[in-house]
Amino acid sequence: MKKQTRRNFLKTSLFAGATIAWTAKSWAQVPGANSSIRVATVGFHSRGRSHIQGMVKLAPEGVKYVALCDVDQKVLEGGKEALAKLKEPQNVDTYVDMRKMYERKDLDVVTIATPNHWHALSAIWAIQAGKDVYVEKPVSHNVWEGRKIVEAARKYNKIVQTGTQSRSSYAIKEAVEWVQAGNLGKIKIARGLCYKPRASIGDTEGPQKVPETINYDLWCGPAPLTPPMRNSKGNGPIHYEWHWFWDYGCGDLGNQGIHQMDIARWFLGEDRLSPRVFSVGGRLGYVDDAETPNTQIVYHDYEKAPLIFEVRGLPEKTGSKNMDKYKGGSVAVIVECENGYVLVPNYTSATAFDNNGMKLKEWKGASDHFDNFIQCVKSRNVGDLHADIWEGHLSSALCHTGNVSYRLGHKASPDEVKESIKASPGAVETFERMAQHLAANDVDIKKDQVTMGPVLTMDPKVEKFIGNKDADKLLTREYRAPYVVPERV
């Protein structure tokens, strides 16, 4: 992989040779407590719109938009127009290429809501250009590049917040503290659920045409420059459905599930990757263009207690519009303890129950995740961040290692799966519930077999697998020049 340093970044940027020059002083500039915070957002066809809304609300805190960036000219023009129509209009410059925007000296903060495969590189480039960063989840497309964002943030002393807004929930924080104090006894399983409806995206017959408004080379960025092989009725050949392709996304595990993965790890108090992981699942119930599983179990074998994650994209049964529930949750976290359990059904509440289902305690409320970020930009206190990039890296990487196991898997019968996982507490029961769910959707896993991933062991200190070179290869990727995540940040 080609190395990219701050010096190389500046040499290869679009403003190389122009009259604007970076100096040691300008590189170190940070906004003060009483200064205005000048903001730009990269990627806002979907989640990025929430970034803009969140930052606009902080105008009384001195937050002001100066630029927007998106590779889709139609999206870009719409964003500029929307900001100009505000009660207090914000007139911004627009960019298709983030590198050109990052050259601005009057830019303090960048928020990033691009597709997953761009998160790490866009964040690292912004940090190297002297900006503080708010980057969406998952913060990375693979384990290695997530660690590189952490290294960049520390090297350049930048404030880098992860877009896991549940970390700004004082309800969940208090529930975590209550459980960790032993009020329900020891944790037996920290379980994350992503039971979220995912219909077929359709089945195309070949490469699809890219809309003329989109700079497709920039959209692909670090990924291979290959034509899109999808074209859903609702989102077309480019937008959103990239989540279900390995070159760009991480499936629902990394799309929605990262939030619940993060909360489950928070309850366990783990600050490293799991030493043992496996996955089982498949894309079942229909045939379409997508690659990632719509049904999946990921098992992280932590010493204190396992973290078990479940993905279900099919409904509770064929023809239903409802999703399954487990102990009251569908997109939720359930922390199962000796003397009861805690249900976290959203980002603003949590409820404790005893083993008979009687309510014991309830917590509600959350603060503003964007505001927490801006306050830390002003104070320069990384320790006050609710979701520092290190936390985002770990929770994102747990999604990635689960997917690594899945991608190295083989088709297996139900009996073979149960034999493989029988020594892991809670795994067989979880698999049997998954099998019942699939049967209710007319999927016979004796015929349409699931994929059983290998059990992978990891050295959490160096974040590499032990004795499995194929798995280690999937901890990173081949990058397409010049969109290369640098080995040295």
CATH no. of 169-204+232-365+389-468: 3.30.360.10
The total of other beta-carbon atoms located within 10 Å of residue 488's CB is 12
Note every long-range contact of 14-18, with CB atoms under 8 Å and residues 24 or more positions apart, other chains counting. 14/97, 14/99, 14/100, 14/103, 15/100, 15/103, 18/103
**pLDDT tens figures, 44-83:** 999 999 999 999 999 999 999 999 999 999 999 999 999 9
Q: What is the mean pLDDT of each run of 10 residues along the chain (489 residues)?
A: 41 32 38 79 96 97 97 97 95 98 98 98 98 98 98 98 98 98 98 98 96 98 98 96 98 97 98 98 98 98 97 98 98 98 98 98 98 98 98 98 98 98 98 98 98 98 98 98 97
How many CB atoms lie under 10 A from the CB of residue 273?
A: 23
pLDDT for residue 30: 57
Q: In angstroms, rounded to a whole number, what is the distance separating the alpha carbons of residues 150 and 120?
A: 10
- 59 DSSP assignment: G
3-state secondary structure (DSSP) of residue 326? strand
| The dihedral formed by the CA atoms of 118, 119, 120 and 126, expressed in degrees to the nearest 10 | 100
| pTM for this model (two decimals) | 0.93
Q: Rounded CA gap, 455 and 179, in Å?
A: 29
- Total residues belonging to the chain: 489
In tens, the pLDDT along 216-272 reads 999 999 999 999 999 999 999 999 999 999 999 999 999 999 999 999 999 999 999
State the first-to-last Cα distance of the chain, in angstroms, to the nearest integer: 13
Burial zone of 171 (CB within 10 Å; 0-12 exposed, 13-18 middle, 19+ buried) = buried
Beta carbons within 10 angstroms of residue 225's beta carbon: 11
